[in-house]
Structure 1
């Protein structure tokens, strides 16, 4: 019998289920995926429980087969070959009862907007729906090549994915955040849930990963975080975020050094009274822009504490950087004059700082000591920067 020309998917197997030949429709059915050599490897174990199966027992009957998540009913026919007994199996998608439900569920998974992946214990992808292939830039035909799931992820996400897979194989459901880059350079953020699942055919423990695109939520959360940390007028960090960063610095192990500088604009209240608050706001915005220019050293962190008071924290890990000393920063901020409503307005800058950690062991003390040095600088003539000393 020439089954190559049979229009429906069919294969030829011996009595023990060893696949001898598959026709073109069957090859199209498995879409180039690697096929195990025995048809009984695909039998539903919850239906056909015996492992020592023989096709001889199923002549003129049907086998419940699952090929890559899709249920089929395989009719078994004995055929004459002139040699050892052989059997023809013809495959049809199950269209009623439980089979129809499973086919429907498979279709739902395939076209779900969530990315769905079935991962073997060795980390190889056994199944991935359209959304998953699109998100990870995988041609669905590549799945037959045995792609490792974590190799498709960014290195920093890969570590979390490997841990989640190990936990799932041990019977736990775990979640972890993920991301990947689109071809246009934009970032997509994902929420991943990895759960254990037992293959009803082989009994193998595998893992299913469901990934949901949460980019809009993640970006909105980042935007809200930025708003909560930023001063509306100047665009610098605000007092609350400054306190959070500084408190973290003080919680680091001893050995880190740095300084805390407080800056105040000389005569700013008089300028506000004479030119108005709008002009004062313009001066603060320009001053903040100048201050940002001084933050080229990555160890400097600046914030507006309120009014015309600003703070800079130098977060050195070993020693104070000589290229960004407090007095030099204050000197550069004091000139040139500010342009307000077509007029040049000269605004002086005073500063007071404390060396850390020898000058203060807590943020509260550091702010108090730097403020003492600042008030001393203003009393002694303004336009200068002084360091706090115990005397």
Structure 2
């Protein structure tokens, strides 16, 4: 039996070790003395081991306590029934409470709302049933006015061999993370300047509504601020931002209501979506209200800035068309409104839309058409009205052999080229091709008529025009006096260039200047700006008025006599007419003093090769 205070089995181990040592050492050492020595040694070793175990246990406890206190996530220790026993500082801070207030409450009672309480109750039930931990469930903890959104894990802390485990609740505060996520989500779906939904959110909503069977009808309104560049450049970006915020607020006020979205789509562009029992009349009324509201000036410092908007409106049944189609229809309708004078709305009409799409398709393809060689120069002869049928001048124009829309003349594509910025390139192509052809004619037929090139306005105001013409003179060898450059009053009034100076320089180069006019008032520009104009080409109502006899013809004659008299006073050598319909029309024009004419009466346009053949017949030596 072990002696009192001995570790169980320790004496037996000592006696066995003493017997083995005695057997090995023989009778030299008395057995009693050896037994006492080994027992003392064994007891000393056992005491030392126990001390080391206690030290390790205490260290582990200290480390756990330190970790528990310093853990960044909240920890609550509960009894087997779920009553709170302890909580670490992080949990007390998260719940904004003290340990005394917390102890005695239940774990489920920490939930904020019933759904949070239910989630904790389910987690504890799972834990009690099979010890399965419930991990990372989002639960609001704490009082409603100061609750925290947390990721909660409910697990168990082992107890004695026969005692049930103690539940432990771990809570990670994700309030800030959730706020960050919400901020990022809002940043991704909302415009930072105005706070409105952005283009991505707008198009997502439109796509959803178009595919929703619950939707009845859908209205899409595309708006932008007229002349916004003037505001931005005149008052600065800061003031322009204020105007955008002001406009956004007004639009939100006018277009408020269920199933309505107001979004900022681009710099000064806004979109409105509305669904339900939508009528075009109701939408138009709202648009007009928005126009009236925005017309009230917003004061930026001491400056009052009024905003006008243009709008394109599309109203259609849900489930018809795609997001791209309805948005494109709204944008094209807006463009039509702006072309009609701005500060107004237009309602989408399928018939007009078809024509607009054709025009914009043409405009978008100009660059590709040039690269593919689809443009070519053709010529219209202006014939003397004296009965000789002699060609007075050959007029160069550009046509487009469009692969889809057939042959297009300048009126079909030059206005669109102005919008896309392609006019200078087209005008340069016209000049270079026409001057090349004319140079060949004059090498073969020195007495051939002049070449006249009617410049599109954008090229007429181009500061590089003189350089382009100089370069072409040098490249082609065309005599300077064989070129006539024709422009009109639109170019003279255009603020983008110094047309008067350009015409003066060209005149100094012996280029002949022709002015296209529609009435006597255009001629006065020659006097006002001291233009070096030697020729005029007349078109419009005065020419059309002489197409038949009658009162209209008599009025046209009176105006034409006065116009021709003024032309002579201004030193204009000859006046021609564009739009001669038949022989009788040509005779009437000749009778009042018009020198030459062109139009249907003299046939259609001709290629450079065909003009060369005509010149060969008329100007080759017999």
TM-score bracket relative to the smaller structure: 0.5 to 0.7
Whole-Å Cα distance in 2 between the matches of residues 268 and 245 of structure 1?
27
Name the SS of the counterpart of 1:297 in structure 2. coil
Name the SS of the counterpart of 1:306 in structure 2. coil
Q: Highest relative contact order (Cα 8 Å, sep 6+), 1 or 2?
A: 1
Work out which of the two has the higher radius of gyration on C-alpha atoms and give 1 or 2: 2
Whole-Å Cα distance in 2 between the matches of residues 119 and 137 of structure 1?
19
- 1:312 matched to which residue of 2? 272
Name the SS of the counterpart of 2:263 in structure 1. strand
Whole-Å Cα distance in 1 between the matches of residues 240 and 230 of structure 2?
10
- 1:283 matched to which residue of 2? 243
* Cα deviation code 1:312-343 (max 9, x no counterpart): 223x5x64599984641452344213445644
Report if the CA contact (8 A) 1:168-1:174 is conserved: no
Report if the CA contact (8 A) 2:133-2:155 is conserved: yes
Map of 1:2-151 to 2, 5 A cutoff? 96-98=55-57, 101-102=60-61, 104-106=63-65, 108-110=67-69, 112-118=71-77, 125=84, 127-136=86-95, 140-141=99-100, 145=104, 147-150=106-109
What is the TM-score when the length of structure 2 is the normalising length? 0.39
- 1:375 matched to which residue of 2? 335
Aligned length: 296
Name the SS of the counterpart of 1:287 in structure 2. helix
1:331 to 264, 284, 289: 289
Task: Tell me which protein shows more strand as a share of its residues.
Answer: 1
Offset of residue 306 of structure 1: 0.9
- 2:451 matched to which residue of 1? none
The structure-2 alpha-carbon separation of the partners of 1:274 and 1:126, relative to structure 1 and needing over 3 Å to count, comes to: closer
Offset of residue 378 of structure 1: 3.3
Is the counterpart of residue 226 in structure 1 residue 186 in structure 2? yes
Offset of residue 367 of structure 1: 1.5
Report if the CA contact (8 A) 1:263-1:349 is conserved: yes
* Cα deviation code 1:225-261 (max 9, x no counterpart): 433444343333332333344445456x411344332
What is the TM-score when the length of structure 1 is the normalising length? 0.58
Whole-Å Cα distance in 1 between the matches of residues 323 and 303 of structure 2?
40
Map of 1:254-265 to 2, 5 A cutoff? 254-257=213-216, 258-265=218-225
- 1:176 matched to which residue of 2? 137
Offset of residue 215 of structure 1: 3.7
Whole-Å Cα distance in 1 between the matches of residues 110 and 303 of structure 2?
62
1:351 to 293, 305, 311: 311
What are the ranges of 5 or more consecutive residues in structure 1 without an aligned counterpart? 1-59, 62-93
Offset of residue 197 of structure 1: 5.3
- 2:480 matched to which residue of 1? none
Report if the CA contact (8 A) 1:359-1:389 is conserved: no
Offset of residue 134 of structure 1: 4.7
Whole-Å Cα distance in 2 between the matches of residues 207 and 223 of structure 1?
36
Task: Tell me which protein shows more helix as a share of its residues.
Answer: 2
Whole-Å Cα distance in 2 between the matches of residues 117 and 356 of structure 1?
59
- 1:28 matched to which residue of 2? none
* Cα deviation code 1:190-227 (max 9, x no counterpart): 33333455555446466432112344444344334433
Is the counterpart of residue 238 in structure 1 residue 180 in structure 2? no
Report if the CA contact (8 A) 1:266-1:348 is conserved: yes
The structure-2 alpha-carbon separation of the partners of 1:109 and 1:354, relative to structure 1 and needing over 3 Å to count, comes to: same
Whole-Å Cα distance in 2 between the matches of residues 256 and 118 of structure 1?
53
